[in-house]
Amino acid sequence: MRVTPIPPGQARWPRAAFPAGLAPATTRLRTRLQDQVGPDGALRDPCHSRVLESALMLALLDRTRQEPAARAALTAYLATHRDSPQPLERLLARAALHTHSDAADLLDVDRLLAQAPDFTGLRKRALLHAVLLLLGATPTTKPPAAEAFSLHGLHTWAQVQVTAVKAILARAHGQPHLVDTHDLDLLRATQQPGAVWEGNLLIHLSVLHALVPLPGHEALIADGIRIALTHQRADGGIPFICDEDTWLTATAGIALHAADAPRSVLDVVARRLLHLQHPAGGWSYTERAQLADTDCTSAAIEVLHLTDPHANRQPIHTAVDALNALRGPDGGFPTYLAGAPSEACMAAAAANALSTQGHHQHTALESALGFLADQQHPDGSFPPDWSSSRHHTVFRAILAAARHRDNGTPGHFAWHITRKAIRLVTDSQNSDGGWGRQDGDVSDALSTAYALITLSTAGPAPGPAARGAAYLLTQQRTDGSIASTPDSIGPRPFGFTVPALADIFTLLALGHLTRRLAPLPLPPPPGPRPVVTGRRQGEPAGHR
Q: What is the pLDDT of residues 445-455, one digit of tens each?
A: 999 999 999 99
Q: Which top CATH class is 15-47+243-516? A: mainly alpha
Is 295 a catalytic site residue? yes
- The predicted model scores a pTM of 0.93
Cβ atoms of 232 and 70 closer than 8 Å:
yes
The length of the chain in residues reads 544
The pLDDT assigned to 145 comes to 82
The pLDDT assigned to 410 comes to 81
Contacts 24+ apart (CB under 8 A), 475-479: 475/445, 475/448, 475/506, 476/25, 476/28, 476/29, 479/32
The mean pLDDT of 49-71, rounded to a whole number, is 97
The mean pLDDT of 193-201, rounded to a whole number, is 97
CA distance between the termini of the chain? 67
Whether 103 shows a pLDDT value over 50: the answer reads no
C-alpha–C-alpha distance, residues 473 and 434, integer Å: 11
The pLDDT assigned to 537 comes to 42
The mean pLDDT of 143-164, rounded to a whole number, is 91
C-alpha–C-alpha distance, residues 530 and 527, integer Å: 9
The mean pLDDT of 166-188, rounded to a whole number, is 94
| Phi (first) and psi of residue 408, to 5 degrees | -95, 5
Domain ranges of the chain: 15-47+243-516, 49-239
Whether 543 shows a pLDDT value over 60: the answer reads no
Whether 542 shows a pLDDT value over 50: the answer reads no
C-alpha–C-alpha distance, residues 52 and 78, integer Å: 10
Res. 538 pLDDT band, cuts 50 70 90? very low
What is the phi-psi region of residue 304: left when phi exceeds 0, alpha when psi lies from -120 to 50, beta otherwise? alpha
Q: Is 520 helix (H, G, I), strand (E, B) or coil?
A: coil
Whether 156 shows a pLDDT value over 80: the answer reads yes
The mean pLDDT of 340-347, rounded to a whole number, is 97
The mean pLDDT of 91-96, rounded to a whole number, is 94
DSSP label of 146: G
Res. 144 pLDDT band, cuts 50 70 90? confident
Least confidently predicted of 86-90, 208-212, 402-406, 472-476: 402-406
Res. 100 pLDDT band, cuts 50 70 90? low
The pLDDT assigned to 139 comes to 62
Tell me whether strands 443-444 and 488-489 are parallel, antiparallel or unpaired: unpaired
DSSP label of 107: -
The mean pLDDT of 307-325, rounded to a whole number, is 98
C-alpha closest to that of 400 among 323, 326, 298, 300: 298
* CA dihedral (277, 250, 157, 189) positive or negative: positive
Cβ atoms of 105 and 94 closer than 8 Å:
yes
The pLDDT assigned to 171 comes to 92
Whether 141 shows a pLDDT value over 70: the answer reads no
> What value does the mean pLDDT of the chain take?
93
Neighbours of 40 (CB within 10 A): 12
Whether 255 shows a pLDDT value over 80: the answer reads yes
In angstroms, how far is CA 474 from the centroid of its own chain? 23
C-alpha closest to that of 504 among 486, 487, 482, 489: 482
C-alpha closest to that of 25 among 521, 533, 503: 503
The pLDDT assigned to 109 comes to 79
pLDDT cut 70: percent of the chain above it: 94
The pLDDT assigned to 150 comes to 92
Res. 541 pLDDT band, cuts 50 70 90? very low
Helix axes 156-172, 181-188, angle to 10 degrees: 120
Q: 130: which residues sit within 8 A by CB, 6+ positions away?
A: 164, 165, 168, 169, 172, 206
The mean pLDDT of 354-382, rounded to a whole number, is 95
Q: 230: which residues sit within 8 A by CB, 6+ positions away?
A: none
Q: Which of 105, 293, 295, 487 is catalytic?
A: 295
The mean pLDDT of 458-473, rounded to a whole number, is 97
Burial 189-215 (b: 16+ CB within 10 A, else e): ebbeeeebbbbbbbbbbbbbbbbbebe
C-alpha–C-alpha distance, residues 528 and 176, integer Å: 92
Q: Give the Å distances, CA to CA, from 221 to 36, 157, 167, 277, 314.
A: 36, 20, 15, 33, 44
The mean pLDDT of 189-201, rounded to a whole number, is 96
Cβ atoms of 354 and 323 closer than 8 Å:
yes
